[in-house]
């Protein structure tokens, strides 16, 4: 452990930002990050340090907060800037920060698509320029680690896509799925995924003792899943539901195999695919992970049950939407960018 | 069951209003209530019936909603108007409705105090005129039922005061409390008590797996408790906490007795005090009610444990803040006003 | 309202029994039920009335509990006996009660299958005799009401099957489903469905802030769903998950249509199929019911979203597992047996 | 960081044990602990490593589990043995481990009282021998740190006493409390405090949407509070309630001051008392900590509101019952025993 890096965190006012702050403050190879807040992000003038935003951090996370400007970040000498900003803010700021010579990890959806038009259609915002989308690395290290050490821009994936793509890729790459019969991705998430802004949908009384599906056929994470699994949009159905819990995603995935398989084969396929990737854990055939096993961690846990006919397969993929689904994955990407072992500070 | 009354409900857009609607729609001696909504209460023009506000009511509570005006209510021929409106709205509307010849049950705090200045000081709103506060009956039927059949204006009590006053009055009236040693009222409530408006404080993630005290020494229900127990403000401490549940209040009350008593005496005192009052249930000495026993009901359950020394007494009072703490109590008051048995439609 | 019936309830010690007791105690055309407890069901000798089991009922549900025997029930002159007993107990008792001349509603799984061998295989208990299974009416009144008025034995359906069958039958009967592409039934239930017996799986800390799939490909409700939808076992996948809530089921169902349809056609199909059935509520196309809309009710709410291609359909079916999924449905069946309107006492 | 210690953990099968394992596995100055399980603690023969007990630990906490014997622990060469065993087990094992030359931290109640008879009366188990109780250090480092570096036996405090004693001692030591008027300690805890064994009281459905007081005047933590605050048993009332959350304690404490004080004086008193103690955080006067601020940490957060009269004081003390209330505090004690900074591995 010879050196320590320093990063800037821009916009750490929400749940993801809080998680990111905690991970970076504890990271053994990071100096205390520089926290920048945008004008208006906090009307409150009294925010001078992170503990003013998150009283949980009193006494150990009293890191100062600075007013954001591209110049201030560029002048700060940080190795990487992490953006925990809304899509429209990232859309404008990422090119400016890159132009100022910074490396960037963006947690928004703005640069996740090869073709900026996909972003435009699903997010109803202007398309990002191809100059940037072409050079962005989709930050799912288990699939695209090779591009990270040199990456100037990393687009940190969505929470649901991380859970779904990691579960489907081994089977898809092996060519074992009868995709034409349809692939169903029934996903459930905790409420931190819906953001910190008070809304009718996140009022305690609307969530507690309740459960509901939302955004069916219209969820913005759909094109990410399609782009990184390569399935025909007409064969994959992706739905999302809101769980009365704070954090965690569980995706139940239904695939028909194109030939009968044994459980051992499937388990072996997954173990081989994720060999050497410490943040994906494969469960023994017939055992399924639960949200409690991954909450508060950076793990994505994968398990499955195969029907007696060897063709109907139910996969369960679990992760923490603030961990592997957002802030933890950003740190994992950062580790790759800085040539650290990918799980540094993530256990 | 010879006749059925009809009431108007004004402002049934929140949790109390929804509860009131359900109770009145099911009430065996009420015709379908007339629901009036104020301008701006729902910007949404599409609200034509109650099920548009509360989809739970589809198919059985499709009662129409009318635009509110004092004239419309007066012309409708209802027996009583119930106001589930904010304090400031009630402050203005109650005198107008009374002047139009209507009988009124007001669920806000505006008319709960004999002296309107108390309201002004604690609610930071203008004091209601003594013309009205003097004739208002404080609608706690177990204590003040005799005024209800003739009442023109009933001020429906607050949720916490109902729990605390019902628990303390038997002991206080008996003169058994050593009040100078202090009386502690540690109260805990579910989130429906905080209203339906989305706020940071009621965001699921701020409430879930959390618990906190709020408004210590500043809660608006303090003067109600003092007015109806008669204790010196300096000897009674009343605190409130937010539970991660939707509905229910549990108050833990600590009193020192001025002479040693036996549990049997205390139980007998309570049983005698509430004899013939079906909505207050006394638990056997040493057994304590829980929120689950009263949620969804109009009961106030009272239990206690007496220390071996016979002087230190812990009382527990439980009720549903939307039931006996608000809408259910309003219906109980209504029953008295209409000369029905007080528990009609409340079981 | 000319007459009132009287029923016996056998084994009302669990969550379903409690719900059944509340519904029957409030039923406008029922006399107070006779509650019978089996030996050993309550080791506790102190259970003399229902409120000893459920303190919630103090003061209004103080109905006495009698020791159970077939003779005692037969001699009591009740119109119908309802069994809220375990599968093995029902297996033995139902034939005896029928032989004693009683009409029976059984809430267990013992008599739900035309072929008793299906029960044997999935429940690992002896097969019930065909004498009884052949005459049992599967108590899903929206499909099989015509057999109920004369039925001697009604097998009350499982909670998940009620949600799934009601959602799939209109489409299946219309012949619109491309069943060969697969039908996915991803179901989620509250914890009351897991019973009142303390187990590791129902410990608060194992459920709270957690979510998990269970019994994949092995759930006992699978054959009920297959028997009453008629789909090939190899094309339908049924999974169950445990929600951190007390009550309610939400089933998300994925079907591929065999020809493109418009949303209006599908909504019309459902409205027509359930015309005149007050306990099934059809939501407008594109709007989905949530558990909060049905918790505490006897409704089954059905909604759907059709993809732009007109072929991929997501259906959502919601009900309360203790209501329409168990006790409420039993009362609905009872209403048919007694020639009452089917929603009597269920609103 | 020159050396690393090694400890043995005995009986890590419950929630406290799991927390202890996680803290020790992550501790920067500890080698992987040796985990010992007692016969019968796990009937299951398949428990070979910690991840078999807690699947959460797969992939990073695969530490082996050994069969427990005093000899095995003594022979293992560990620096300290931590016991997360039931009271009766600790009562027997602690003297044996001490006799074998080991230093011990015991998390049970067995050695918490100077006078073993206190334990006998409140726990209904044999009194521990004075040989051991006299040399045990009560492991509340903010009060008794000086005894820890040489301690052979540390009795780790109860969760409630930690919260209450830390809140009351500054005021008591200053002599500012009018104790004769009574001190009320109204405490609320999450369910992990009730243990992992499935019981009716911890069934999800009994806890969810519920809240209740329990063990009033009979809680075993009473004598610990009295012993370390020194108040007359007749003036202090301590009650406990069960919150529908997994972890966290909030204690609301009511004291009458014997002379009017200003908020600044009280805040200064607390800041001075806990100066240099990183695990106790004092909140600014008028601001109160919440359970969310301490859940998952080893902090005890203290806040207060003083009434306008300067005499009535409400204190709020928050901690995580598994952290500062149990496992975290054990590690804090361990740090003192091993001459490490007291917050090592606890941030």
Which chain A residues touch C255 with a CB distance below 8 Å?
none
Residues A170 and A128 in one domain: no
Q: Do A112 and A169 sit in the same domain of this protein? A: no
Mutate one of C190, C210, C214, C302 to test the A interface: name it (highest A CB count within 10 A): C210
Q: Where are the alpha helices (DSSP H) in chain A?
A: 15-26, 50-53, 70-75, 87-99, 116-123, 130-133, 141-144, 159-174, 204-207, 222-229, 263-273, 291-294, 328-337
Q: What are phi and psi of A243, to 5 degrees?
A: -90, 145
Asked if the C-beta of A192 comes within 8 angstroms of chain B's C-beta atoms, the answer is: yes
Radius of gyration of chain B (CA): 20
**Touching check for A290 and chain C: CB below 8 Å?**
yes
pLDDT, residue A347, reads: 86
**Mutate: best of A22, A52, A56, partner D, most D CBs <10 A:** A56
Q: Chain A partners of D292 at a C-beta cutoff of 8 Å?
A: 56
**Any D CB within 8 A of A289 CB:** yes
List residues bridging with A306 in a β-sheet. A313
Cα separation of B71 and D232, whole Å?
Answer: 65
- Nearest CA distance, D146 vs chain B (angstrom): 34
Residues D274-298: tens digit of each pLDDT: 999 999 999 999 999 999 999 999 9
- Are residues B45 and B125 located together in one domain of the fold? yes
Rounded CA separation A303/A166 (Å): 11
Read off φ and ψ for residue C19, nearest 5 degrees: -65, -40
3-state secondary structure of C37: strand
The DSSP-derived string for D289-317 is --GGGTTTSS-EEEEEEE-TTSSEEEEEE
Query: Can you name the residues that pair with B255 across neighbouring β-strands?
Result: B313
Strand pairing partners for B317? B251, B302
Number of CB atoms found within 10 A of residue D67's CB: 10
Would you say A87 and A125 are in contact if contact means Cβ atoms under 8 Å apart?
yes
- Token digits of residue D144: 């008794």
Pairwise CA distance, residues A58 & B66, whole Å: 52
CA distance D80 to D20: 14
Check residue B60 and give its pLDDT: 81
CB–CB of D244/C204 below 8 Å?
yes
CB pairs below 8 Å between B and D: how many?
Answer: 135
Q: Residue B256 — φ and ψ, nearest 5°?
A: -100, 130
Q: C195 and C305 share a domain?
A: yes
Which two three-digit tokens encode residue D136?
Answer: 């045990």
Q: Record the pTM.
A: 0.97
Q: Which residue's structure tokens are 């009040």? A: B179
Q: How far is C50 from chain D (nearest CA, A)?
A: 18
Where residue D175 sits, what CATH number does that domain have?
3.30.360.10
Q: Is the pLDDT of residue B1 over 60?
A: no
Q: Is residue A143 part of a domain?
A: no
The CATH number of residue C61's host domain is: 3.40.50.720
User: How many Å apart are CA A47 and CA B90, to the nearest integer?
Assistant: 38
C105 by DSSP, 3-state: which? Answer: strand
Euclidean distance between CA atoms D152 and C32, whole angstroms: 67
**Same structural domain for residues A187 and A230?**
yes
Q: Order of strands, edge to edge, in the sheet holding B212-214?
A: B212-214, B236-242, B183-189, B249-256, B312-319, B300-306, B280-282
When divided into structural domains, chain A yields a total of 2
pLDDT for res D60: 81
Let me know whether C18 and C130 are in one domain.
yes
Contacts of C249 in chain A (CB under 8 A): none
Residues of D in contact with A347 (CB under 8 A): 26, 60
Q: Which residue of A has its CA nearest to C188?
A: A211
Contacts of B231 in chain D (CB under 8 A): none
Residue C335: CB atoms within 10 Å: 22
Residue A50 is given by DSSP the state H
Closest CA to D229 of D151, D140, D148: D140
Is A250 in Cβ contact with C213 (below 8 Å)?
A: yes
Spatial distance between the Cα atoms of A316 and B300, rounded to a whole number of angstroms:
46
Q: Cα–Cα distance between C8 and D127 in angstroms, integer?
A: 54
Whether B299 and C59 lie within 8 Å, measured CB to CB? yes
Q: Is A278's Cβ below 8 Å from some Cβ in D?
A: yes
**Can you give the residue range of the structural domain that contains D83?**
7-135
Estimate to the nearest angstrom the gap between the alpha carbon of C219 and the chain centroid.
15
Helix (H) or strand (E) holding C53: helix C50-53
Nearest to D41 by CA among D62, D21, D69, D7: D69
Residue of B nearest to C60 (CA): B347
DSSP string of C198-250, one letter each residue: --GGGBHHHHTT--EEESTTT-TTHHHHHHHH---TTTEEEEEEE-SSSS-EE
Asked, for residue D144, whether it belongs to a domain, the answer is: no
B28-50 as b/e: b if 16+ CB within 10 A: ebbebbbbbbbeebeeeeebeeb
Average pLDDT across chain C, whole number: 95
Q: What is the largest CA-CA distance in chain C?
A: 64
Residue B281 has pLDDT above 60, yes or no: yes
The CA distance from B126 to the nearest CA of chain C, in Å, is: 39
Catalytic residues of C: 159
Binary contact (B59, C209; C-beta < 8 A): no
Nearest CA of chain D to the CA of A297: how many Å?
Answer: 9
Q: Which residues contact D45 (CB under 8 A, 6 or more apart)?
A: none
Q: CA A264, CA B119: separation in Å to the nearest integer?
A: 73
Considering only CB atoms, A295 lies closest to which of C209, C256, C311, namely: C209
- Who's near A119: CB < 8 A, 6+ residues apart? A109, A110, A111, A112, A113, A125, A127, A128, A133
Judge whether C335 lies within some domain.
no
- C293 at interface of B, judged by CB pairs closer than 8 A: yes
Kindly determine whether residue A243 and residue C309, on different chains, have CB atoms separated by under 8 Å: no
3-state SS string for chain B: CCCCECEEEECCCCHHHHHHHHHHHHCCCECCCEEEECCCCCCCCCCCEHHHHCHHHCCCCCCEEEECCHHHHHHCCCCEEEECCCHHHHHHHHHHHHHCCCEEEECCCCCCCCCHHHHHHHHCCCCCCHHHHCCCEECCHHHHHHHCCCCCEEECCCHHHHHHHHHHHHHHHHCCECHHHCEEEEEEECHHHHCCCCCHHHEHHHHCCCCEEECCCCCCCHHHHHHHHCCCCCCEEEEEEECCCCCCEEEEEEEEECCCCCHHHHHHHHHHHCCCCCCEEECCCCCCCCHHHHCCCCCEEEEEEECCCCCEEEEEEEECCCHHHHHHHHHHHHHHHCCCCCCCCCC
- D169 lies in the same domain as D63: no
Per the domain annotation, does D303 fall within a domain? yes
**Residue B65 is assigned to a structural domain of this protein:** yes
Give yes or no for a contact between A148 and A156, defined as CB atoms under 8 angstroms apart. Answer: no
Please report the pLDDT score of residue D219 as a whole number: 96
The predicted pLDDT at position C44 comes to 54
Answer whether residue D116 is part of any domain.
Answer: yes
**DSSP state for residue D326 in the 8-state scheme:** I
Q: Cβ–Cβ contacts within 10 Å for residue D128, how many?
A: 25
Per-residue pLDDT at C40 exceeds 70 = no
* B44 inside 8 A of chain C by CB: no
Per-residue tokens: A331: 């740190």
Residues C262 and C168 reside in one and the same domain: yes
Q: How many A×B Cβ pairs under 8 Å?
A: 54
Q: Is C192 on the interface with D (CB under 8 A)?
A: yes
Q: How far is D175 from chain A (nearest CA, A)?
A: 28
Q: Using alpha carbons, select from B265, B163, B309, B293 the residue that is nearest to residue D217.
A: B309
A198 shares a domain with A313: yes
Which residues in chain C are closer than 8 Å to D243, comparing Cβ atoms? none
> Is C31 touching D (CB cutoff 8 A)?
no
Dist CA D133 CA B231 (whole Å): 47
Nearest to C246 among D15, D202, D209 (CB): D209
Q: Which parts of chain D have pLDDT scores under 70?
A: 1-2, 40-46
Give the residue from chain A lying closest to D23, CA to CA: A347
Q: Which residues of A touch B208 (CB under 8 A)?
A: 191, 204, 208, 244-246
**H or E element, residue C263:** helix C263-273
Residues of D in contact with B183 (CB under 8 A): none
In A144-215, DSSP assigns E strands to: 153-155, 183-189, 212-214
**C13-23 pLDDT per residue, tens:** 999 999 999 99
Which chain C residues are closer than 8 Å to B58 by Cβ? 281, 293, 301
Nearest CA in chain A to D292: A56
- Is residue C101 located within the same domain as residue C229? no
Distances (CA, A) of D330 to B8, C100, D33, D337: 62, 65, 14, 10
Q: Quick one: A213 and A270 in the same domain?
A: yes
B182 at C interface, C-beta within 8 A:
no
Sign of CA dihedral D24, D26, D31, D35: positive
Residue C43 has pLDDT above 50, yes or no: no
D118 sits in which H/E element: helix D116-123
Would you say A251 and A185 are in contact if contact means Cβ atoms under 8 Å apart?
yes
Q: Does C196 touch chain D (CB under 8 A)?
A: yes
Establish if A329 belongs to a structural domain: no
Q: Shortest CB distance from C208 goes to which of D196, D199, D246?
A: D246
Question: CB distance C204–D15 less than 8 Å?
Answer: no
Q: Is D64 helix (H, G, I), strand (E, B) or coil?
A: strand
Determine what percent of chain B is predicted with pLDDT higher than 70: 97
Q: Are residues D170 and D298 in the same domain?
A: yes
Q: Cβ separation of D209 and B292 shorter than 8 Å?
A: yes
pLDDT, position D39: 76
Mutate to test the interface with B, among A192, A203, A210 (most CBs of B within 10 A): A203
* B246 touches A: beta carbon within 8 Å: yes
Q: What is the spatial distance between Cα D212 and Cα D241, in angstroms, rounded to a whole number? A: 5
Closest residue to D59, CB basis, from A26, A208, A281? A281
Q: Does C200 touch chain A (CB under 8 A)?
A: no
- Provide the strand spans (E) within C93-197: 103-106, 137-138, 153-155, 183-189
In a domain, A334, yes or no: no
Q: Is the Cβ of A219 closer than 8 Å to some Cβ of chain C?
A: no
Query: Could you give the CA distance from residue C321 to residue C316 in angstroms, rounded to a whole number?
Result: 15
- Asked if D204's CB is within 8 angstroms of C202's CB, the reply is yes
Low-confidence spans in chain A with pLDDT less than 50? 1, 43
């Amino acid at each position: 452990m010879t050196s320590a890096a320093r990063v800037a965190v821009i916009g750490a006012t929400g749940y993801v930002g809080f998680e990111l702050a905690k991970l970076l403050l504890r990271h053994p190879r990071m100096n205390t990050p520089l926290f920048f807040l945008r004008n208006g992000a906090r009307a409150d003038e009294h925010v001078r340090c992170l503990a003013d935003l998150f009283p949980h951090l009193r006494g150990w996370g009293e890191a100062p907060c600075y007013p954001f400007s591209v110049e201030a970040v560029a002048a700060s000498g940080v190795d990487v800037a992490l953006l925990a900003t809304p899509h429209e803010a990232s859309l404008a700021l990422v090119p400016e920060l890159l132009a100022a010579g910074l490396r960037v990890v963006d947690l928004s959806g703005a640069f996740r698509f090869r073709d900026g038009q996909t972003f435009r259609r699903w997010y109803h915002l202007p398309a990002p320029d191809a100059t940037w989308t072409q050079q962005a690395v989709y930050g799912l290290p288990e699939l695209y680690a090779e591009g990270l050490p040199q990456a100037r821009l990393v687009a940190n994936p969505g929470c649901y896509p991380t859970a779904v793509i990691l579960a489907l890729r081994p089977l898809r790459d092996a060519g074992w799925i009868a995709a034409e019969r349809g692939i169903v991705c029934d996903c459930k998430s905790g409420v931190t995924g819906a953001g910190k802004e008070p809304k009718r949908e996140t009022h305690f009384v609307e969530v507690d003792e309740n459960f509901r599906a939302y955004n069916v056929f219209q969820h913005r994470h759909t094109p990410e899943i399609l782009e990184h699994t390569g399935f025909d949009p007409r064969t994959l159905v992706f739905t999302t539901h809101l769980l009365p819990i704070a954090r965690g995603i569980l995706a139940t995935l239904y695939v028909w195999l194109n030939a009968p398989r044994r459980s051992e084969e499937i388990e072996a396929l997954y173990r081989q695919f994720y060999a050497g990737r410490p943040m994906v854990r494969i469960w023994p055939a017939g055992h399924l992970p639960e949200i409690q096993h991954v909450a508060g961690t950076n793990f994505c846990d994968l398990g499955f049950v195969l029907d007696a006919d060897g063709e109907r397969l139910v996969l369960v993929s679990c992760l923490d939407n603030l961990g592997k689904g957002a802030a933890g994955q950003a740190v994992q990407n950062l580790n790759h960018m800085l040539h650290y072992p990918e799980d540094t500070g993530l256990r």
